[in-house]
Amino acid sequence: MHVFINIVPQATLDWECLSTLIGELTNQHFAAASFNLHLNAPQKLTPTQQKQAQDWQLTINQLQLPLAPQNYLINLRETDHVLPGALQQWAQVTAQHPGSPISLAAFDAHQPLHDQIAAYVVDHQEAALQQTYRQLASDSLDNPDEQLLTLWSLQNYSVQTNLQSVRHLTQRIRPTGILLPTELLNPTLPLASAAQAFAVLRQSPDVVRLHVPTLQRAMWVEATPIAWLNELEKIDVEQLDVMWQPVYQAYFQRQLNALLKSIDRKQLTKEDHTELLARIKQNTTRPLHHWSRLRLLQLLSPRVAHQLFY
């Protein structure tokens, strides 16, 4: 198994974040991994940065994906974090169940990692695996390393065949944070896109879910709502197979609701927010729940909605 890690800037490239992420990746000493930075046209690296990239063996817009089986691509944003041991855990799972996309659980980027690991370990203290490990462990759980080991002790995966479950699509359709088998990639779609992840999902017989987080990242819907809506809109419902059309439409409406819920955190300008509301309103299809935000939005103009919601 070889993992191609494609780093996609969230907006303008944050070099400091990128350095951190590359550090987290190289510290894992995982030989079968290569890194690429996907830079959009106006963005360029300074000579110092280029030199640094060379030292990291980070290629720029030169992702070569050989069509060998059992290779995987994962798109990450430079603001994401990779937990220690993540690559080895991915490798263990792909060795057991090759050829399927792997959906990864993640911690939230807005809270300290240490607190989240501690809370996770406490939440799962009744799990048989953790209980067995605690019988054998030498150190107490106050030690951060011991917490990490306990987190690893819990690691497990499931093979899910309910591909058309609307509830699970949030885990399975996203441009970043999913391990995609390279032989299932669609060359006509951008590598880091919801459309690509969705295309891979539709071709795959099952999806593997790695349940214990190996990443820390922000949700697209929260971090970059406009980009997320763009991604969703790029999926052409008309081109989908009959069986997938209603599934995707239901998922799309759910995401519109999720967007409405998440964009009242004041990270958008007034213009952006109003425009986003207008687009959400335009994309909403009936029937709607009586007491949903989407329903309320239908009764208001985006401008009034902005003043009410923001």
Q: Which residues bind other proteins (CB under 8 A)?
A: 27-30, 84-85, 88-89, 91-93, 95-99, 128-129, 131-133, 135-139, 143, 145, 148-149, 152-153, 155-159, 202-203, 210-211, 241-243
3-state class of 268 per DSSP? coil
Q: Please count the residues of the chain.
A: 310
Rounded distance between C-alpha atoms, residue 223 and residue 244, angstroms: 27
Rounded distance between C-alpha atoms, residue 255 and residue 249, angstroms: 10
| CB-based contact 293:257 (threshold 8 Å) | yes
3-state class of 179 per DSSP? strand
Q: Say if strands 33-37 and 58-60 run parallel, antiparallel, or are unpaired.
A: parallel
| CB-based contact 249:237 (threshold 8 Å) | yes
Cα–Cα distance list, 12 to 16, 19, 42, 53, 271 (Å): 12, 15, 10, 17, 20
Task: Provide φ and ψ at 264, rounded to 5°.
Answer: -90, 25
Rounded distance between C-alpha atoms, residue 89 and residue 212, angstroms: 10
Nearer to other proteins, 61 or 203 (CB): 203
- Residue 20 C-beta: closest distance to other proteins, Å: 16
Nearer to other proteins, 63 or 148 (CB): 148
- Residue 97 C-beta: closest distance to other proteins, Å: 5
Rounded distance between C-alpha atoms, residue 176 and residue 38, angstroms: 12
- Residue 28 C-beta: closest distance to other proteins, Å: 6
- Residue 179 C-beta: closest distance to other proteins, Å: 14
- Residue 187 C-beta: closest distance to other proteins, Å: 15
- Residue 133 C-beta: closest distance to other proteins, Å: 6
